[in-house]
Amino acid sequence: MRTPSRPARRAALAATTVLTLTGLLAGCADEGGSTASGGGGAADPNQASVAFLMPDLASTRYELYDAPLFTEKMGELCPDCTVIYQNADSSAATQQEQANSALAQGASAIVLDPVDSAAAATIVQTAQSQGVPVIAYDRPIPDRAADFYVSFDNEAIGASIAESLVEYLDAEGIQGGLLQVNGSPTDAAAGLIKDGATSAVESSDFEVLAEYDTPDWTPSRAQDWVSGQVSKYGDEIAGVVAANDGTGGGAIAAFKAAGAPVPPVTGNDFELAAAQRIAAGDQYNTISKPIKTVAEAAADVAWAFVNGEEPEADTTLFDTPSQLFEPTVVTQDNLAEVLGGADAPFTVEDVCTAEYRADCEKLGLL
């Protein structure tokens, strides 16, 4: 199985682009089918096709990590299988079209990270009616039970980043209120992160001054909203609970644009830019959830379904058999340790470019 080369320009990853990441697609399509509960039912599992449908380009992770890692693992499990990769670029309608296209091409299983968790119920229903199992990936699909769900524990992520922030503020004697910048209101995983963060903040002595659900997780929307709050609350803001690194980066940019001191800001996804902001002291924390863990788990589950087997779950969420992995909070205190881990998505050298070299030296990274 071949791993796709990354396009030279982002436009090449447009919403309707299909990347087949192994041999000839025509030889891998499945003309047969069975019920979804029994697996995808490929006539020859060793020449099956599996769709990998991701939600957006706002986060760099899908192109840089999820798709290549999933494809690599599928290649180990089934060298002659095909991965059909598409990115919906934040359009639920486009993702529906992409799912229909994957089914028309004979996909034996669909791994789906939904743009809109509610709208994705239609994709699940259509696929299951054709005997094709759907593996919800990273984001759950509450309104229609998928055949399996693979993710990190999103509620634990929200609780972890907020608890980490609150503990730091308490330890430093910092007083004031918090801004809470949540993820997309159409993303069920964002709802779980929000629930976890809200629970942690409500258990603290800090008040939420204002709260925002960021459409499509768009950093610029988060930045615009935080800018307004900086104007309104000024130095009353003790910290920002941001649901991911993109919204956290937007919040940090808002404070800098206003010429205001940047308070401790949380994040999630352990993006390279976030690691650099942590090294520089601009971002307080993020979440390390090695994408390799969930990408490979999703490939294992898809391969089990292709072979007509039932993958093993360790819990149930939204009536869906699930594997939920534990996240790790990353701050300056353990940045070196996480970067030195076997599953780190990038290296110390990647983080400590010329711009951040002095910061890295202060932290002992170099």
Residues 273 and 295 in one domain: no
Query: How much is the mean pLDDT over the chain?
Result: 90
Q: Which residues contact 281 (CB under 8 A, 6 or more apart)?
A: 332, 359
Residues 134 and 222 in one domain: no
CA distances from 161 to 207, 244, 249 (A): 16, 10, 15
- State how far the Cα of 344 lies from the Cα of 347, in Å rounded to an integer: 7
Query: Does 8 have pLDDT greater than 60?
Result: no
The answer to which of 19-28, 169-178, 200-209, 332-341 has the lowest mean pLDDT is: 19-28
Nearest to 150 by CA among 251, 299, 342, 355: 299
- State how far the Cα of 46 lies from the Cα of 68, in Å rounded to an integer: 20
- State how far the Cα of 225 lies from the Cα of 211, in Å rounded to an integer: 9
CA distances from 316 to 138, 146, 320, 326, 366 (A): 14, 11, 5, 15, 44
Residues 131 and 163 in one domain: no
Where a domain ends, among 289, 317, 335? 289
Number of domains in the chain: 2
Residues 270 and 294 in one domain: no
Q: Residue 294: which pLDDT band, with cuts at 50, 70 and 90?
A: very high
> Mean per-residue pLDDT for 82-103?
98
What pLDDT is recorded for position 42? 56
Residues 118 and 208 in one domain: no
Residue 115 and residue 88 in contact, taking contact as beta carbons nearer than 8 Å: yes
Residues 130 and 174 in one domain: no
What pLDDT is recorded for position 181? 98
Strand partners, 241: 180
46: containing domain: 10-146+290-325
- State how far the Cα of 319 lies from the Cα of 322, in Å rounded to an integer: 9
- State how far the Cα of 108 lies from the Cα of 43, in Å rounded to an integer: 10
What is the token pair recorded at 362? 């202060």
- State how far the Cα of 309 lies from the Cα of 298, in Å rounded to an integer: 14
What pLDDT is recorded for position 199? 98
